[in-house]
Amino acid sequence: MIQIKEMAPRDGLQNEKVKILTEDKIEFIQKLQQAGITYIEIGAFVHPDKVPQMADTEAVIRGVDLQEGVETSVLVPNMHGFQKALDLGMKEVAVFTAASETFNQKNINASIQESLDRFKPVFEAAENNGIKVRGYISTAFVCPFEGLVSTNKVIPIIESLLEMGCYEVSIGDTIGKATTDQVTELFSKTHQLGLNGWLAGHFHDTYGQALENIKASLAFDIEVFDASAGGLGGCPYAPGAPGNVATEDVVDFLNSQNITLPIQINKLIEAISFIESKIGRELNSKTYKKYK
């Protein structure tokens, strides 16, 4: 079954220049739930100097009234972040590394191996406390500093994260430069290895390629896609990484493929319109412009 994982409250807002009030983040999350979104990455327990917009994640988690059946996750780069998630009763966290060394250093101040080492106690503690762990691999196709990334770099990291205990690994096209050929190459190889039931696609839409890349992923039985309402998004440590693929565009595209999700576009548009009024710039995904 195809599933969308909503990134807007975390990946979406983390790069916005205007400080969004905690109460507005909470209202945005409530509106996303009302639209039928069933999985939300709610924030990040990272260093507040690195990503100031995420500094109020604890207050957001405390303030959100979760509807039945809605799952939430929070980014944690290490035990420091995991402990906060645990103390707040989170049932899922996400660890994140990359397939290129330069990006990983800039993003989390660690080599790829060092980051996996940091995750070991997180996986142990997660298992002891019954918490699910999702994993991200950034720059899985192209790195803003090193250029093209080989599948030979990505596949061992996928395998490590799954062996360590991730229930799913999300493959990040961090700067939206992946081509459908690259997506096909990676997911055909992982398909041969029997891994695709554990993978998700996380496509940024910098060059309008994300929907094509989702289509290429569907051909290899990838069923989970990260997306961000309004096409909000971007990583502050990846120059040229604007929006994630817009949730409303993915819903619209899937509809065109006869895949219907229980997400109500009109309510989603309301949520986007609400956050647009707070961030001080226009959002302009194809579907948002059509319906707003």
Q: How far apart are CA 241 and CA 225, in angstroms?
A: 18
Q: How far is the CB of 258 from Mg ion (least distance, A)?
A: 28
DSSP for 114-133 reads HHHHHHHHHHHHHHHTT-EE
Q: Which of 178, 183, 200, 235 is catalytic?
A: 235
Q: Which stretch binds Mg ion (CB under 5 A): 6-14, 25-33, 109-117, 152-160?
A: 6-14
51 binds ligand HMG (CB under 6 A): yes
Q: Are 94 and 41 in contact (CB under 8 A)?
A: yes
Q: Could you say which of Mg ion, ligand HMG, none residue 108 binds, taking C-beta under 5 to 8 angstroms by partner kind?
A: ligand HMG
11 binds Mg ion (CB under 5 A): yes
Q: How far is the CB of 177 from ligand HMG (least distance, A)?
A: 11
Contact with ligand HMG (CB under 6 A) among 96, 187, 225, 288:
96
**Three-state SS for 94?**
strand
Q: Are 111 and 104 in contact (CB under 8 A)?
A: yes
Q: Which of 236, 196, 234 is nearest to 216 (CA)?
A: 196
> Is 166 an active-site residue?
no
Q: Which stretch binds ligand HMG (CB under 6 A): 71-79, 145-153, 180-188, 250-258?
A: 71-79
Q: By rule CB under 6 A, what string of x and - marks binding of each residue 245-284 to ligand HMG?
A: ----------------------------------------
Please report, as residue ranges, which positions from 192 to 221 form the binding site for ligand HMG (by CB under 6 A). Answer: 202, 204
Q: Are 64 and 30 in contact (CB under 8 A)?
A: yes
231 binds ligand HMG (CB under 6 A): no
Please report how the helices 22-34 and 265-279 are oriented relative to each other, as an axis angle in degrees rounded to 10. 170
Q: Which stretch binds ligand HMG (CB under 6 A): 66-74, 104-112, 160-168, 248-256?
A: 104-112
Contact with ligand HMG (CB under 6 A) among 6, 11, 56, 168:
11
Q: Tokens 């009030």 sit at which residue?
A: 21
Give whichever of 140 and 265 is closer to Mg ion, judged by the CB atom. Answer: 140
The CA dihedral of 213, 218, 223, 224, to the nearest 10 degrees, is 10
Alpha carbon distances (Å) from 97 to 117, 260, 264, 273, 288: 11, 32, 33, 32, 32
* Closest residue to ligand HMG: CB criterion: 172
Q: How far apart are CA 290 and CA 265, in angstroms?
A: 11
Q: How far apart are CA 72 and CA 65, in angstroms?
A: 11
Give whichever of 43 and 254 is closer to ligand HMG, judged by the CB atom. Answer: 43
Q: List the catalytic residues.
A: 235
Footprint on this chain of ligand HMG (rule: CB under 6 A): 11, 14, 44-47, 50-51, 75, 77-78, 80-81, 96, 107-109, 136, 138, 172, 174, 202, 204, 235, 237
